[in-house]
A and B are shown apart, each in its own frame.
Chain A
Amino acid sequence: MATTIKSEFERIRNTEVWRTIFRSGSGSSNLHRSQAVQQNIFLHLFSVKVRSRALEFSPTWYLGALTLSTFFILIATGILLMFYYHPSVPQAYADMKDLQFVVASGVFLRNLHRWSAHAMVFLVFAHMFKVFYRGAYRPPRQFNWVIGVFLLLITLLLSYTGYLLPWDQLAFWAVTVGSNIAKAVPLMGKQIRFLMLGGNEVNANALLRFYVLHCVILPLAAILLVGVHFWRIRKDGGLYVPEKKQL
Chain B
Amino acid sequence: MTDGPKMKPELKMQAEVQSDVRKNPRRIAFILRRSSPYVKAQDDGRVMTYPTALARFIIALEVAFVLLVWISLLANAPLEGIADPMHTPNPAKAPWYFLGLQELLHYFPPMVAGVLVPGLVVGALIVIPYFNINIEGESLWARDRKRRLMIVGVALVLFCIFLLVFDVIVALVPTILIGGLMLWSARFSPESPKLFHRWLASKPLSFWIMSWFLVELTILTVVGTFFRGPGWSWVLPWQS
Interface residues of A (CB under 8 A from B): 30, 33-34, 36-37, 43, 46-53, 55, 62, 65-66, 68-70, 72-73, 89-90, 93, 96, 100, 107-108, 110-116, 118-119, 121, 125, 128-129, 132-133, 135, 137-143, 145-146, 149, 152-153, 156, 159-160, 163, 166-174, 176-178, 180-186, 201-202, 236-238, 240-244
The answer to whether B65 and A73 touch across the interface, beta carbons within 8 angstroms, is yes
The answer to whether B57 and A121 touch across the interface, beta carbons within 8 angstroms, is no
B76 interfacial by beta-carbon distance below 8 Å: yes
Contacts across chains A and B counted by CB atoms under 8 Å: 217
Chain A proximity mask over B85-100: 1 for CB below 8 Å, otherwise 0? 1011100111111100
Expressed in whole angstroms, the minimum distance between the Cβ of B121 and any Cβ of chain A is 10
Out of A51, A53, A152, A184, name the residue touching B109 (CB < 8 Å): A184
Expressed in whole angstroms, the minimum distance between the Cβ of B108 and any Cβ of chain A is 10
Interface members, chain B 47-102 (any A CB < 8 Å): 47-54, 56-57, 60-61, 63-65, 68-69, 71-73, 75-85, 87-89, 92-98, 101-102
The answer to whether A115 and B75 touch across the interface, beta carbons within 8 angstroms, is yes
Known: A66-B64, A72-B61, A167-B83. A186 touches B47 (CB 8 A): no
Which 7 residue pairs are nearest across A and B when measured between Cβ atoms?
A184-B110, A172-B83, A181-B114, A142-B129, A111-B72, A237-B38, A114-B77
- Compute how far the CA of A183 lies from the CA of B82 in the bound complex, rounded to whole angstroms: 25
A97, closest chain B residue (CB): B79
The answer to whether A115 and B83 touch across the interface, beta carbons within 8 angstroms, is no
Chain B residues with CB under 8 Å of A166's CB are 79
Expressed in whole angstroms, the minimum distance between the Cβ of B90 and any Cβ of chain A is 10
The answer to whether A119 and B49 touch across the interface, beta carbons within 8 angstroms, is no
Known: A111-B77, A138-B129, A174-B94. A69 touches B45 (CB 8 A): no
B57, closest chain A residue (CB): A65
Chain B residues with CB under 8 Å of A33's CB are 48-51
The answer to whether B214 and A129 touch across the interface, beta carbons within 8 angstroms, is yes
Chain B residues with CB under 8 Å of A143's CB are 129
The answer to whether B72 and A112 touch across the interface, beta carbons within 8 angstroms, is yes
Known: A173-B92, A184-B110. A51 touches B214 (CB 8 A): no
B235 interfacial by beta-carbon distance below 8 Å: no
- Compute how far the CA of A236 lies from the CA of B38 in the bound complex, rounded to whole angstroms: 9
B10 interfacial by beta-carbon distance below 8 Å: no
B62, closest chain A residue (CB): A69
User: Can you name 10 A-B pairs with beta carbons within 8 Å?
Assistant: A51-B41, A66-B64, A115-B75, A132-B128, A139-B135, A142-B129, A142-B130, A169-B82, A173-B88, A244-B44
Out of A142, A169, A241, name the residue touching B83 (CB < 8 Å): A169
Q: Which of B16-24, B29-37, B164-172 contacts A (4 or more CB under 8 A)?
A: B29-37
The answer to whether B44 and A119 touch across the interface, beta carbons within 8 angstroms, is no
The answer to whether B115 and A138 touch across the interface, beta carbons within 8 angstroms, is no
The answer to whether A49 and B49 touch across the interface, beta carbons within 8 angstroms, is yes
Chain A residues with CB under 8 Å of B134's CB are 137-138
Out of A34, A125, A177, name the residue touching B102 (CB < 8 Å): A177
- Compute how far the CA of A138 lies from the CA of B44 in the bound complex, rounded to whole angstroms: 20
The answer to whether B105 and A181 touch across the interface, beta carbons within 8 angstroms, is yes
- Compute how far the CA of A135 lies from the CA of B127 in the bound complex, rounded to whole angstroms: 14
Expressed in whole angstroms, the minimum distance between the Cβ of B122 and any Cβ of chain A is 7
Out of B36, B60, B71, B77, name the residue touching A139 (CB < 8 Å): B36
List 5 additional A-B contacts (Cβ < 8 Å) besides A47-B49, A51-B46, A168-B79: A51-B45, A73-B65, A115-B77, A168-B78, A169-B83
- Compute how far the CA of A121 lies from the CA of B96 in the bound complex, rounded to whole angstroms: 10
Out of B56, B76, B95, B111, name the residue touching A55 (CB < 8 Å): B56
Expressed in whole angstroms, the minimum distance between the Cβ of A140 and any Cβ of chain B is 7
B40 interfacial by beta-carbon distance below 8 Å: yes
Chain B residues with CB under 8 Å of A152's CB are 125
B126 interfacial by beta-carbon distance below 8 Å: yes
Chain B residues with CB under 8 Å of A242's CB are 37
Chain B residues with CB under 8 Å of A53's CB are 41, 44-45
Expressed in whole angstroms, the minimum distance between the Cβ of B40 and any Cβ of chain A is 6
- Compute how far the CA of A45 lies from the CA of B136 in the bound complex, rounded to whole angstroms: 30
